[in-house]
Amino acid sequence: MTLGLATLAGGLTACSGGGSDATATSGNGVVQVVASTNVWGDVAKTIGGDAVHVTSFINDPSQDPHEYEASVRNQLAIKNAGVVIENGGGYDDFMTKMVASVGDSNTVLNAVDISGKKAAAGEDLNEHVWYDFPTVLKVAGAIKDKLATLDPSHANTFTKNLTTFTEQVKALEAQAASVKTAHGGQPVAITEPVPGYLLEACGLVNKTPEAFSAAIEDGNDVSVGILNDTLKLFTGHQVKALVYNEQTTGPVTQKVLDTAKSSNVPVVPVTETLPAGSTYVTWMKSQLTALSTALDRS
């Protein structure tokens, strides 16, 4: 991801006097919330309800989040926000840079930091923590606390909304546990580590060569040998499903997808952001259902 901070800062100075954007809490008491992606934006809206206005920078499932470039409008939104939610872990560094440039670090909630997760020795942390249900509940709790501080008059509403959301996420955990009961220990393949926490919750074993998924995530070339090892998972029927990140694609991942399909290995598409018309809960429920259905078929 690239971000021209000098250019953005200059543009911000030029446009910030327009007066069309609300401040951290607007005149009608609505708290301004900014999130790097619509995943965390939806969680914030679920907790805040009508007492918040949420702006999510990355909200298109057809957009590659790794190629996102921030704008002057993004910086202005952060400058005026009462709550800023970033994923962290290197996923959305453009948020950290913008907060450092024009924002207030006290407004920031960092999902990876809140998760408490640490990388194992010699390994990178899987930063896609929105696929980890316990982390999502921790972040939701932190959002509730931050909103209650900014808007005490709606604290009870935030607490009630968190309780409802917690029940819904617990139902997702139960759904994942059901998949684990039926299919725990079964091998699967991935194109990227995006759904890793969800697969772990379902008790599935990722058989993809680590060098392959790491190269795809980092945008690096995949060696012929590693690619062939990956393709053999499908041609040799060594996995029960391919969990495919359809938001970050290219010739190599397309080759993997085509090989899985031609080998009659079920494919489960996943994304990094919410599809249009979905909430976090409905999105995760549909992905779990698709995964369970694919495993039942294999």
Given a contact cutoff of 8 angstroms between Cβ atoms, the answer to whether 292 and 182 are in contact is: yes
CATH of 21-171, one of 3.40.1280.10, 3.30.70.330, 1.10.1740.10, 3.40.50.1980: 3.40.50.1980
- Please tell us whether the domain made up of 178-297 is placed in CATH 3.40.50.1980: yes
Residues of the chain with confidence (pLDDT) below 50:
1-22
Q: What is the pLDDT of residue 67?
A: 79
Given a contact cutoff of 8 angstroms between Cβ atoms, the answer to whether 269 and 244 are in contact is: yes
Check for a shared fold between 21-171 and 178-297. yes
Rounded CA gap, 102 and 294, in Å?
47
37: helix, strand or coil = strand
Q: What is the pLDDT of residue 68?
A: 85
Q: What is the pLDDT of residue 18?
A: 31
The 10 Å Cβ neighbour count of residue 131 is: 22
Hey, where are the domains in the chain? Answer: 21-171, 178-297
Q: What is the pLDDT of residue 27?
A: 53
Q: What is the pLDDT of residue 199?
A: 99
The token pair at 254 is 């397309």
Query: 242: which strand partners?
Result: 189, 267
- Which tens digits make up the pLDDT trace of 57-111? 999 887 777 778 889 999 999 999 999 999 999 999 999 899 999 889 999 999 9
Q: What is the pLDDT of residue 38?
A: 98
